[in-house]
Structure 1
Amino acid sequence: MTPVQRRRMIWVLLLLLASALATTLVAFALQRNIAYLYTPAEVLRGEVDPQSRFRLGGMVVKGSFQRATGSLEAHFVVTDGDATLPVSTSRILPDMFREGTAVVASGRLQDGRFIADEVLAKHDENYVPKEVADKMGQAHRKHDVPVAPAGAP
């Protein structure tokens, strides 16, 4: 092998090593920021690491919304039809947030209560985000309970 070929080989190996290192660092950074979607039943069955950040999807139970007077602190209950989970947030709720509508909340579990950093809601009461509908449908199929399609009245 000539000195020129040897130098090229070293550069190629260094380039491959640098690419592998960069890919590994990006993968670790992305893995830390991933928030998986779970339903209340999955959370209560223990399928979620209690210290991890995740998204909770389901429907806001009618009559469960409470807001402290003069505060942004809000409490409500989310259900998937099989289980319910209380949710608290001190953030501004979206204008479209209503009882009986689908929500996706991002946050962590703390003392049996979901503490939401962000709450997303959709304006149409018949709309359920696809991933929430799929999860809720899976839960109902496991228990042989019929579930209406997302767009059904």
Structure 2
Amino acid sequence: MAGLKSLKKRRRVQVVVAAALALVIAVALIGYGFRDGINLYRSPSQVSELAPPPDEYFQLGGLVKDGSIEDRDGVRFDFVITDGVVEIPVSYTGDDPRPDLFKEGQGTIAKGYYRDGRFEARDLLAKHDESYMPREVVDTLKESGVYEDPNS
């Protein structure tokens, strides 16, 4: 009878250890999967206050400054993103041509790296109709006091 209790106790311990090990493996796999999938959003004001490290991939959002788009060779071009307070120069060096709806004075989110005072964009998100603007960009523009509601 004493051997049976010892066997049950050993099985319980084995099940708890196996469950803990499975939990650790699951958390490690989730963390590994998200390592490139979590991109922080920043406004130009936030970037100027505290510049991120040059190897940090993040999203920069705001308005494309009027008169700032300059075409370069191929599908590359330069422009300036502003939140009405701070302006950040951006160089787009992605593989895709400029989106048709990417225009001056419109909201955009650029994904890339901030290096040597310039944002190096790899991807661009542009609005998809006349009234849409990314929520993060709207919040940033409201904070700086330059947001105008398109419905008013």
TM-score range, shorter chain: 0.7 to 0.9
Note closer, same or farther for the CA distance 1:49–1:67 as it changes in structure 2 (3 Å cut): same
Please give the secondary structure, in 2, of the residue aligned with 1:33: coil
Give a deviation string over 1:2-29, Cα, whole Å, max 9, x none. 3144124302321222212321342254
> Which structure is larger by alpha-carbon Rg, 1 or 2?
2
Shift of 1:75: 0.2
Partner of 1:120: 125
Calculate the aligned-residue CA RMSD, in Å: 2.1
TM-score, normalised with respect to structure 1: 0.83
Shift of 1:32: 4.3
CA contact (8 A) 1:104 1:119 kept: yes
CA contact (8 A) 1:40 1:85 kept: yes
Partner of 2:31: 27
Give a deviation string over 1:42-64, Cα, whole Å, max 9, x none. 10111533331100000001110
Paired with 1:81 and 1:74, the residues of 2 have a C-alpha distance of 22
> Which of 80, 102, 106 is the equivalent residue of 1:97?
102
Whether 2:151 is the aligned partner of 1:148: answer no
CA contact (8 A) 1:42 1:48 kept: no
Question: What are structure 2's unaligned runs of at least 5 residues?
Answer: none
Paired with 2:42 and 2:126, the residues of 1 have a C-alpha distance of 16
TM-score, normalised with respect to structure 2: 0.83
Partner of 1:132: 137
